[in-house]
Amino acid sequence: MVRKLRIAVGSDEAGRQYREALRADLNASNLVSSVTDVGVHGDGPGAYPEIATAAARLVAAGEVDRALLVCHTGLGVAIAANKVLGVRAACAHDEVSVRASVLSNNAQVLCLGQGIIGLAVARRLTAEWLTCRFDPDCSAAAKVARISALEQGHS
């Protein structure tokens, strides 16, 4: 049996519509145990760097297993989330990239672009993402360990 995931979701105003729809999908999924929404909330525009790093910090602290972030392209939230030590965020807009982000790179954060893909595609990619689990005994594990060593300042 696959362990249920704790997921953080976040977006700026440019990704709010998808975040809300995907949050509802995640809450309804039998592969998810909890969803933590880090924003954007209220009337403020919400800056994507703060929202992305808030979600990434939850991942790094072990409070959630993964995060799903949405902005206009997915690129800004990916760049910001990757600044948090121990977090690997990937922008993906197709099934191959979604699977590889987890299976080959152990990325804990999926970043999507509301201005790049349709909502049906975003839903399909999110559903696929939930089924993927990194195998620490796979051939990619040594490469992921090298990435982690680089992040720690060991070249």
Locate 6 and state its tokens. Answer: 């704790």
Distance of CA 55 to the CA centre of its chain: 9
What secondary structure does DSSP assign to 97-150, as a single string? HHHHHHHTT---EEEEETTTS-HHHHHHHHHHHHH----TTSTTHHHHHHHHHH
71 catalytic? Reply is yes
Selected catalytic residue, list 71, 111, 132, 138: 71
Which residues have a catalytic role annotated? 71
